């Protein structure tokens, strides 16, 4: 199989934070964000290898600031390294305040 560049496997998704996505403080639940990250990582990994993929492990997630009800959350995933039967997917998350 011929190698692919990271740009060829990019997955991008944007979500609006809805009431069912938030906790009692009106902030996005971390588990929901992790779910969105897992889905976009699978899209990126599938684009890289065109096969079924599963998540084997997750490393180093940092929640740096709260994400509020109504905010727009954009996730970008790309394969950063590939090995024989596994790969590493890097995900960036951006937040756009819905009030600005």
Per-residue pLDDT reduced to its tens digit, 27-75: 999 999 999 999 999 999 999 999 999 999 999 999 999 999 999 999 9
Q: Which of the residue ranges 33-37, 75-79, 82-86, 90-94 would you say has the lowest mean pLDDT? A: 82-86
**Separation between Cα atoms, residue 12 and residue 84, nearest integer Å:** 25
Q: Which domain holds residue 79?
A: 7-59+66-96
Output the pTM of the full model.
Answer: 0.90
Q: Sorting pLDDT into bands at 50, 70 and 90, what band is 24? A: very high
- The number of domains in the chain is 1
Residue 87 DSSP SS3: strand
Question: At 80, which CATH number?
Answer: 3.10.129.10
Residues with Cβ within 8 Å of 80's Cβ and at least 6 positions away in sequence, in order, are 6, 88, 89, 90
């Amino acid at each position: 199989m011929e190698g692919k560049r990271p740009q060829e496997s990019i997955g991008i998704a944007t979500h609006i934070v809805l009431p069912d996505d938030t906790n009692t403080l009106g902030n996005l639940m971390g588990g929901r964000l992790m779910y969105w990250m897992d889905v976009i990582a699978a899209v990126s990994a599938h684009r890289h290898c065109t096969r079924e993929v599963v998540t084997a492990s997750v490393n180093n997630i940092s929640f740096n600031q709260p994400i509020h009800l109504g905010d727009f959350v954009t996730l970008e995933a790309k394969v950063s390294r590939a090995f024989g039967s596994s790969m590493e997917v890097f995900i960036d998350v951006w937040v756009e305040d819905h009030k600005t």
